[in-house]
Structure 1
Amino acid sequence: MSFTLQPAVRQKINLLFAIAGASGSGKTYSALLLAQGIAGDNGKIAVIDTEAGRSLQYAPKNGEQADHNKGTFNFLHLDFVPPFTPERYIEAIQTCEQAGASVIVIDSASHEWNGEGGIVEMSDGIALRKATDNQTGEINFKKLEAVKMLSWAEPKKQHKKMMAKLTQVRSHIIFCLRAEEKVKPIKNHKGFTEVVNQGFQPICEKGFMFEMTASLTLEPTNPGKPNYELDKKLNRDMQVIFQNGQLISVEHGKRLKEWSESGCDIEPKKSQLEQNYERLANTLSQVKDRTQLEKITGHKATINLRKELVEKEPIWAGIIDDLIEQALREFDNEEAQADV
Structure 2
Amino acid sequence: MTFTIRPAVRSKIGLLFGIAGASGSGKTFSALTLAEGIKGKDGKIAVIDTEAGRALHYAPKPGDTANPAKGTFDFLHLDFPAPFTPSRYVEAIKAAEDAGATVIVIDSMSHEWDGEGGCSDMAEQAAIAAATDRNGAVQAWKVDAMTAPSWKKPKQLHKRMMAKLIQTRTHLIFCLRAQEKIKFEKVRNEQTGKEKNEIRQLGFMPICEKSFMFELSGSMTMHPETPGQPRYDLQRKLNHDLQQIFPHGEQITIEKGERLRCWADTGEDRPPVDRIAEGVRELVETIQDASTMEALEAITGDKETIRRRKWLADNNRVDLADRITTAVNEALAAFSEDEGEEGAAA
Q: Please, what TM-score do these two structures have when normalized by structure 1?
A: 0.75
Structure 2 distance, partners of 1:220, 1:212, is 23
2:85 is aligned to 85
Structure 1 residue identity aligned to 2:228: G
2:37 is aligned to 37
Matching of residues 52-131 of structure 1 within 5 Å: 52-131=52-131
2:205 is aligned to 201
Once the two structures are TM-superposed, the CA of residue 3 in structure 1 deviates from its matched residue by 3.4
Matched, 1:48 2:52: no
Structure 2 distance, partners of 1:239, 1:193, is 36
Unaligned runs of 5+ in 2: 190-194, 268-346
Deviations 1:191-223 (A, max 9, x none): 332111100000001111121000000000000
Matched, 1:241 2:245: yes
Decide which moves more: 179-188 or 107-116. Answer: 179-188
2:149 is aligned to 150
Structure 2 residue identity aligned to 1:207: S
Deviations 1:60-113 (A, max 9, x none): 111111110000000000000000000100000000111111100000000000
Matching of residues 132-281 of structure 1 within 5 Å: 132-134=132-134, 136-190=135-189, 191-262=195-266
Give the 4+ runs in structure 1 shifted more than 6 A. none
Structure 2 residue identity aligned to 1:158: L
Structure 1 residue identity aligned to 2:173: I
Structure 2 distance, partners of 1:9, 1:199, is 39
Give the secondary-structure state (helix, strand or coil) at the position aligned to 2:151: helix
State the superposition RMSD in angstroms: 1.1
Structure 2 distance, partners of 1:257, 1:77, is 22
Structure 2 distance, partners of 1:46, 1:171, is 11
2:334 is aligned to none
Give the secondary-structure state (helix, strand or coil) at the position aligned to 1:188: strand
Structure 2 distance, partners of 1:5, 1:162, is 28
Once the two structures are TM-superposed, the CA of residue 187 in structure 1 deviates from its matched residue by 2.7
Deviations 1:221-277 (A, max 9, x none): 0000111000000111111110000011111100000000116xxxxxxxxxxxxxx
Once the two structures are TM-superposed, the CA of residue 11 in structure 1 deviates from its matched residue by 1.6
1:18 is aligned to 18
Structure 1 distance, partners of 2:196, 2:150, is 36
Structure 1 distance, partners of 2:27, 2:2, is 47
Structure 2 distance, partners of 1:259, 1:82, is 35
Decide which moves more: 9-18 or 106-115. Answer: 9-18
Decide which moves more: 186-195 or 63-72. Answer: 186-195
Q: Percent identity?
A: 58
Structure 2 residue identity aligned to 1:251: E
Structure 1 distance, partners of 2:66, 2:119, is 36
Give the secondary-structure state (helix, strand or coil) at the position aligned to 1:18: strand
Structure 2 distance, partners of 1:22, 1:3, is 45
Unaligned runs of 5+ in 1: 264-340
Once the two structures are TM-superposed, the CA of residue 189 in structure 1 deviates from its matched residue by 4.7
Structure 1 distance, partners of 2:94, 2:168, is 8
Point out the structure with max Rg over C-alpha: 1
Structure 1 residue identity aligned to 2:111: H
Give the secondary-structure state (helix, strand or coil) at the position aligned to 1:149: helix
Deviations 1:139-160 (A, max 9, x none): 1111111111000000100000
Structure 1 residue identity aligned to 2:154: P
Structure 1 distance, partners of 2:89, 2:150, is 21
Structure 2 distance, partners of 1:5, 1:165, is 25
Structure 2 residue identity aligned to 1:220: P
Give the secondary-structure state (helix, strand or coil) at the position aligned to 1:143: helix
